[in-house]
Structure 1
Amino acid sequence: MIATSTVVMFALMYLNTYAWDHVHWSETRVYMTLIMGAAMAVVMMGFMWKMYADKKLNYVVLGGAAVVFALALWLVRSQSTVGDRSYMMAMIPHHSIAILTSERAGIEDVRVRKLADGIIAAQRREISEMEWLIEDIEANGPAISEAEARTRPVPEFGPQPQASVTGGPESKAD
């Protein structure tokens, strides 16, 4: 039950992503999901302690949850397993959430709207840049020196067309 709920929580964390093509595997989200699953196991055991006759098994579940929690917390805080590609794969949905929030919030103050529009433009540009970098690194490997990076410059990404939640182009009246 806890494992199933944990998998469901992982999937649910992507529901606030702006466009489906911004949904990417994220180690960081896996670690956060494991933290939530471990915490849920402790809470559930607290409420259901008397339901299980084998108290040793209850302690095993609590101990396992504590180990998973501690390990996942260390992994999410240290980012020790996250490299170039993993970093960008996690940041794309993160940026997408900023687009969704900035675009759909009921903003009335023109200054806040200007700020939100700037965030939208920056996040779209950065998503395009990250997608390009992922492809370039997959094709050519990482550019490990400034000289190598100069031979593979990142293109300038201008204003991006708006995408709907299904990932297709969408027009927006000003």
Structure 2
Amino acid sequence: MLPLTPGPLHDVTWFDTERVPLAMAIHERVTMDVLRDLFDATYSAIGGAIARGELTPAGPALALYRGDPRGTFDIEIGFPVHTPWAGPVVADGITIVASEWPPGPTVAVSHIGGYDTLEASWEQLAAVASSSASGEPVALGELYVTEPSPEADPATLRTDLMIAVERTKGR
């Protein structure tokens, strides 16, 4: 399972993760300026699939970034599931397919606060990953531990940031 802890990870922490099956909508070649609308549309569609019993989440919502989030990148938006998911399901024009979080070394830290301040936490995590990992990042993940609703106080939001790497130095 993904490294979900009862309390926030105030310090950067390493985990060895297993292969985690996911049900995700994959959006290719996007930029940061379209993320809010993309998240809203995707989670609305996935919510419909959950309500119809087509998808049963096994944990908090997440997003996986592949590529450089400062430029054009691919993003997967969805949920972990208990077993490899059969999919695909089309909900409100959005296709939800089987995916996975890769097994192996993963470094994580919790970000407490609004999404507009995530960059500093990502920089902290990336610095540790690059100094300890001998391979390139395999995936960047955001696990939305606190549901991001319009009523939520941004100062109380918890997002666990994760980087899966190929291997680590000295491990």
Shorter-chain TM range is under 0.3
Name the one with the larger strand percent: 2
Q: TM-score, normalised by structure 2?
A: 0.24
Q: TM-score, normalised by structure 1?
A: 0.24
Q: Which structure's CA Rg is the greater one?
A: 1
